[in-house]
């Protein structure tokens, strides 16, 4: 099987949950501690062996495109001042020419449609990854790397999976499991944002996928589904209908939903506490703040 070397990043969303910040700043550029959201996804992808990065963007995302450019003036100034560590950090964000592509999604028609927009950049026999940068996953071995390794043995389509509380199932794509093998599950169905009480399980799809090009063909014909949008989940479920394998992969790691304000703040605190230079001051502040809060109640 060919290794997975391409990843599609759907980043066309308007980020309305973070207005007014996202009026002029793409959501993916919002920072967790000192790195934009997208940087976490890029690093995860690199660790998994991804060499080509395909961004599906929209109007207003130019700051995202600029972020991956070289910054010669800034680099020269850091070099001159001998700030080698910062220089290294900065250079790690550059994307070599030819490794990065931008495709425009002209209409907001859903995640499935966004992925379909990248179809011409994926070869006919080439499995590819999809990464939703809103889902930030802290893990010893990157989530996508865990999946790429598992996928090398299974083939087919694979989605990252995680148990969620039953009452939250309607916010996710949910797997209908036919065989549970521990970290790997075989799916006999998938449903996007099921109505409360109708979810086939509480095993949710998290924003990491390894897909066969068949899914892109399915997307040609996928009709509008949940929320009136073309859903990636429906195109993957079509694979099962056609008798091909779809697996869920229970990854090792902690997932933060950075598409929500609470999740974004949790990730910020968790990642800051991991930083030796911030840990002490921040945890002292948090302790004091929480005890003040409790005393006031
Ligand atoms: C998307 C997918 C959904 C998945 C979720 C994970 O939904 O459509 O299947 O469970 O990401 O974060 P969104 O959160 O963009 O509505």
Atom in ligand 1 nearest the alpha carbon of residue 206 = 6
For residues 168 and 288, membership in a common domain is answered with no
| Residue 158 confidence class, pLDDT cut points 50, 70, 90 | very high
* pLDDT-above-90 percentage for the chain: 80
Pairwise pLDDT comparison (295 vs 127), residue with the higher score:
127
pLDDT score of 1 more than 80: no
pLDDT score of 278 more than 80: yes
Q: What is the pLDDT of residue 139?
A: 96
Instruction: Report the separation in Å between the CA atom of 282 and the middle of ligand 1, taken as the mean of its atom positions.
Output: 32
- The answer to whether residue 1 is domain-embedded is no
For residues 134 and 211, membership in a common domain is answered with yes
Nearest to 192 by CA among 165, 158, 229, 220: 229
- The token pair at 101 is 């592509």
- The answer to whether residue 61 is domain-embedded is yes
Inter-residue contact 156 to 212 (CB < 8 Å): yes
Mean pLDDT of 55-65: 90
pLDDT score of 248 more than 80: yes
* pLDDT-above-70 percentage for the chain: 100
For residues 270 and 250, membership in a common domain is answered with no
φ/ψ of 49, rounded to 5, equals 95, 15
**Tens digit of each residue's pLDDT (9 = 90 or more) over 75-97:** 999 999 999 988 988 888 888 88
The answer, yes or no, to whether any atom of ligand 1 lies below 6 A from the CB of 192, is yes
- The answer to whether residue 88 is domain-embedded is yes
For residues 148 and 293, membership in a common domain is answered with no
Nearest to 154 by CA among 292, 247, 280: 247
**Tens digit of each residue's pLDDT (9 = 90 or more) over 180-206:** 999 999 999 999 999 988 999 999 999
Inter-residue contact 97 to 68 (CB < 8 Å): no
Count Cβ atoms below 10 Å from residue 135 Cβ, excluding itself. 22
pLDDT score of 33 more than 80: yes
pTM for this model (two decimals): 0.94
Residues whose CB is less than 8 angstroms from the CB of residue 171 and which lie 6 or more positions away in sequence, other chains included: 164, 193
| Residue 49 confidence class, pLDDT cut points 50, 70, 90 | very high
pLDDT score of 2 more than 90: no
- The token pair at 32 is 């967790």
Question: Domains in the chain: how many in total?
Answer: 2
**Dihedral sign for Cα atoms in the order 208, 214, 218, 220:** positive
For residues 144 and 283, membership in a common domain is answered with no
For residues 147 and 175, membership in a common domain is answered with yes
Inter-residue contact 105 to 211 (CB < 8 Å): no
Q: How many CA atoms lie within 13 A of 92 on its CB side?
A: 14
Q: For a substitution probing ligand 1, which of 105, 111, 175, 215 has the most ligand atoms within 8 Å of its CB?
A: 111
- The token pair at 273 is 């506490």
Inter-residue contact 217 to 239 (CB < 8 Å): no
Q: What is the pLDDT of residue 226?
A: 92
Domain that residue 111 falls in: 6-259
- The answer to whether residue 152 is domain-embedded is yes
- The token pair at 168 is 């939250």
Q: What is the pLDDT of residue 211?
A: 98
Mean pLDDT of 49-62: 93
Mean pLDDT of 210-232: 94
DSSP state of 152: H
For residues 142 and 269, membership in a common domain is answered with no
For residues 207 and 286, membership in a common domain is answered with no
The answer, yes or no, to whether any atom of ligand 1 lies below 6 A from the CB of 204, is yes
| Residue 69 confidence class, pLDDT cut points 50, 70, 90 | confident
What is the average pLDDT value for the chain, to the nearest integer?
Answer: 94
- The answer to whether residue 32 is domain-embedded is yes
Q: For a substitution probing ligand 1, which of 207, 209, 225, 248 has the most ligand atoms within 8 Å of its CB?
A: 207
Inter-residue contact 32 to 269 (CB < 8 Å): no
For residues 250 and 276, membership in a common domain is answered with no
For residues 253 and 277, membership in a common domain is answered with no
Inter-residue contact 53 to 42 (CB < 8 Å): yes
For residues 198 and 282, membership in a common domain is answered with no
For residues 203 and 219, membership in a common domain is answered with yes
């Amino acid at each position: 099987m060919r290794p997975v070397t391409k990843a599609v990043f759907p980043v066309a969303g308007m980020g309305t949950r973070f207005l007014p910040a996202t009026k002029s700043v793409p959501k993916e550029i919002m920072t967790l501690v000192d790195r934009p959201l997208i940087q976490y996804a890029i690093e995860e992808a690199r660790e998994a062996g991804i060499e080509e990065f395909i961004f599906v963007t929209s109007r207003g995302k130019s700051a995202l495109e600029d972020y991956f450019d070289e910054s010669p003036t800034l680099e020269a100034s850091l070099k001159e001042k001998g700030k080698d560590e910062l220089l290294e950090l900065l250079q790690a964000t550059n994307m070599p020419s030819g490794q990065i592509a931008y495709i425009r999604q002209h209409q907001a028609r859903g995640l499935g449609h966004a992925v379909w927009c990248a179809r011409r950049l994926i070869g006919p026999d080439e499995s590819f990854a999809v990464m939703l940068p809103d889902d930030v996953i802290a893990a010893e071995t990157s989530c996508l790397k865990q999946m790429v390794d598992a996928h090398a043995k299974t083939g087919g389509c694979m989605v990252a999976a995680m148990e969620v509380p039953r009452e939250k199932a309607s916010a996710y794509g949910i797997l209908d499991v036919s065989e549970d093998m521990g970290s790997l599950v075989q799916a006999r169905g998938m449903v996007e944002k099921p109505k409360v009480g109708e979810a086939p399980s509480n095993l949710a799809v998290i924003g990491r996928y390894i897909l066969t090009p068949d899914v892109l063909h399915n997307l040609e014909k996928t009709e509008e589904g949940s929320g009136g949008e073309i859903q990636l989940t429906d195109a993957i479920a079509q694979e099962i209908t056609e008798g091909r394998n779809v697996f869920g992969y229970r990854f090792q790691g902690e997932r933060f939903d950075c598409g929500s304000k609470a999740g974004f703040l949790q990730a910020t605190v968790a990642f800051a506490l991991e930083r030796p230079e911030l840990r002490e001051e921040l945890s002292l502040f948090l302790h004091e703040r929480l005890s003040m809060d409790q005393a006031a109640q």
